[in-house]
Chains A and B, each alone.
Chain A
């Protein structure tokens, strides 16, 4: 089976986020970039599924040449090959259009995404792809398996969990708990250097959105400390001063 894993390249989770150019750009100065953590899960799961059922794993990223180092890491983890669509990821809809074109051209049995990227947090690409390809889409999966030619998922729903089966092809998104992300070993890193990384130009799509300005969260005022021996006072303050609980 052929699996396509959609990968975003995002700032490391420890990054302090700041903005430049009068708050119109994200400040990438000194920022370490990584595979989006949820995409790392979908990549690992794709490898597990193809090791069990046979097949290949391709990674697709929408990004410029500076994404290549992170794409090589995905190849080191075990993907067979990679495709980079040479454009800035404008928004979720732009990315989904690009990936959908790749899927239509190459044909896959399964497309996996992360639940969301940790930079723009759109959480859109999985379901957008489903609609663009007229495939079923299953979001926020904590388990994925293939049984008798069907995909079986466990996924989070509002206030609970659900077990669901789907025909193939299908697009699904990864949630925490799906698997333990793999760490590349030396053999993988060596092999990644010569694995194919194909660069394709973006297709043109209708403009969906324009990012104009960024803002940082407001800094908090100094904390008001309550003595640990009088901790019960906190409840009183929250009730009668802050009026935040009944």
Chain B
């Protein structure tokens, strides 16, 4: 039986969770079970039902996120539901609990998975390796399996079900960790889930010039990102740094402004479907990795792009 862990983001199931549901029901070739922690908002379970989930187990009684406590409760729900293959969206939360669940259910675990498995001879998945510079095919050997899929890698597949909700109360257990405070950038699109990303580098000359980058991003419904030097100099927060030692992303559209395209940067973005490079140096390596290019100064090109994006 295939199931998913449906990450509950303040009551909402994000697109990456619906991708996991689609993935799971495709490999199950039928409806699947989802497990979430905490009650979702009204209407959210119907979103899961649209993508192939016919049963949602809601774990109640847990407070703030704790990797150990959450993993133990989810592992119990997995055993209760008879799930042997678990699909999960590869977010930070997934990375903190999927390995713990894998130990709990004695499963083979693959993270960074970007395609459906080949089940003709066992269960072989394709995953990103070498920080975007390669892919590997890995056979998962154990009977139980956990597949953590990279957001934006596989499509949403409608498969309407009617959904039954089952509540499970988690046993109270003592948490070894305590959350002191949490801050989230309100209304911002998380970089790893963004379909469009506008990214900029040293060509912007200083942090005070990022207003144009943000304006273009807003007009395109995009998240903002940056190169390593820009984050190293503190012009932008490190969470925006994409590249080999930053975040690996695969949006539908990646627009790179004033970034030369060093191999370490390209590694983190080369899986993007369409890449646009804007650089005043015609020899910038980014032009070899891009689908579209503009050889020009960011301060000349960006205002034109903003104007064109407004004229719609």
- In the complex the two chains form, is B294's CB within 8 Å of A158's CB? no
- Which residues in chain A, 162-218, are within 8 Å of chain B measured between CB atoms? 162-167, 170, 175-177, 206-217
A109: which B residues are within 8 A, CB to CB? none
With A17-B134, A93-B109, A158-B9 in contact, is A223–B182 under 8 Å at CB?
no
Q: Choose among A118, A159, A164, A166 the residue that contacts B184 (Cβ–Cβ < 8 A).
A: A159
A69 within 8 A of B: no
With A120-B129, A159-B190, A212-B124 in contact, is A140–B134 under 8 Å at CB?
no
**Which listed segment binds B: A1-9, A45-53, A54-62, A229-237?**
A229-237
- In the complex the two chains form, is A217's CB within 8 Å of B271's CB? yes
Give B89 Cβ to nearest chain A Cβ, in Å: 10
With A234-B308, A235-B309 in contact, is A138–B177 under 8 Å at CB?
yes
- In the complex the two chains form, is B129's CB within 8 Å of A127's CB? no
B128: which A residues are within 8 A, CB to CB? 121
Overall SS of chain B's interface: mixed
With A223-B293, A232-B305 in contact, is A124–B288 under 8 Å at CB?
no
- Which residues in chain A, 130-177, are within 8 Å of chain B measured between CB atoms? 130-132, 135-140, 142, 152, 156-167, 170, 175-177
Give A26 Cβ to nearest chain B Cβ, in Å: 8
A175: which B residues are within 8 A, CB to CB? 238
**Which listed segment binds A: B50-58, B76-84, B96-104, B158-166?**
B96-104
Give A124 Cβ to nearest chain B Cβ, in Å: 4
Q: Choose among B137, B239, B245 the residue that contacts A156 (Cβ–Cβ < 8 A).
A: B239
- In the complex the two chains form, is B133's CB within 8 Å of A131's CB? no
B138: which A residues are within 8 A, CB to CB? 91, 209-212
Residue in A closest to B72 when the chains form the complex, CB atoms:
A131
B252: which A residues are within 8 A, CB to CB? 244
Interface size class of B (residues with CB under 8 A): 35 or more
A93: which B residues are within 8 A, CB to CB? 102, 108-109
B291: which A residues are within 8 A, CB to CB? 220-221, 223-224, 242
- In the complex the two chains form, is B110's CB within 8 Å of A209's CB? yes
Q: How far is the CA of A17 from the CA of B248 in the complex (A)?
A: 16
- Which residues in chain A, 100-120, are within 8 Å of chain B measured between CB atoms? 118-120
- B residues with a Cβ closer than 8 A to A are 9, 66-68, 71, 91-93, 95-100, 102-104, 108-112, 124, 126-142, 176-185, 188, 190, 192, 196, 220-221, 231, 238-239, 241, 244-246, 248, 252-253, 263-264, 270-271, 273-278, 287-297, 300-301, 304-305, 307-309, 311-312
| 8 smallest beta-carbon distances between A and B, as pairs | A228-B296, A160-B184, A232-B308, A131-B103, A127-B99, A235-B308, A136-B176, A231-B304
- A residues with a Cβ closer than 8 A to B are 11, 13-17, 19, 26, 37-38, 91-93, 96, 118-128, 130-132, 135-140, 142, 152, 156-167, 170, 175-177, 206-217, 220-221, 223-239, 242, 244-246
